[in-house]
Amino acid sequence: MSATPAATPDTPVDTDCIFCKIAAGELDVPLVYEDDYVVAFDDISPQAPVHTLIIPKQHVVNLTDKPDPELLGHIFGAVHEVARRKGIDESGYRIVQNNGVDAGQTVFHLHVHVLGGRELMVGMA
């Protein structure tokens, strides 16, 4: 994934964004996974035994922000590794990604939820 746009000193950040602060290491949040482009950490309000968020280091609001497809590919590429580290890659897991108010997005920094650790409810909405 060498072509993935890197997080650089010029990477856009929103100084008021809690997820930008987590990505920058400004808050004491243990990371499940980190590479040059994304970090993953456990959700503060877990909806399942495993509930981990994957976010880009650069500030992107959601898919309406038209993030670089390579960055999106990189985020999705991290999903399996996060699932493996959380021990749910074999048992199965669900990813959820909320965009905008009707979807229930509450933190306006793009994130993918990785959920698992038990049999999840059938249905998505």
Active site residue 111: yes
Q: Where are the alpha helices (DSSP H) in the chain?
A: 18-23, 69-85
Q: Which of residues 65-124 bind ligand DGP (CB under 6 A)?
A: 98, 104-107
Q: How many CA atoms lie within 13 A of 51 on its CB side?
A: 10
Residue 31 dihedral angles phi and psi, to the nearest 5°: -95, 135
Number of residues in contact with ligand DGP, rule: CB under 6 A?
Answer: 13
Which residues, 6 or more positions from 80, have their beta carbon under 8 angstroms from its beta carbon? 89
Nearer to ligand DGP by C-beta: 42 or 81?
A: 42
| 6/100 with CB nearer ligand DGP | 100
Which residues lie near ligand DGP (CB under 6 A)?
Answer: 18, 29, 41-45, 53, 98, 104-107
Residues designated as active site: 111
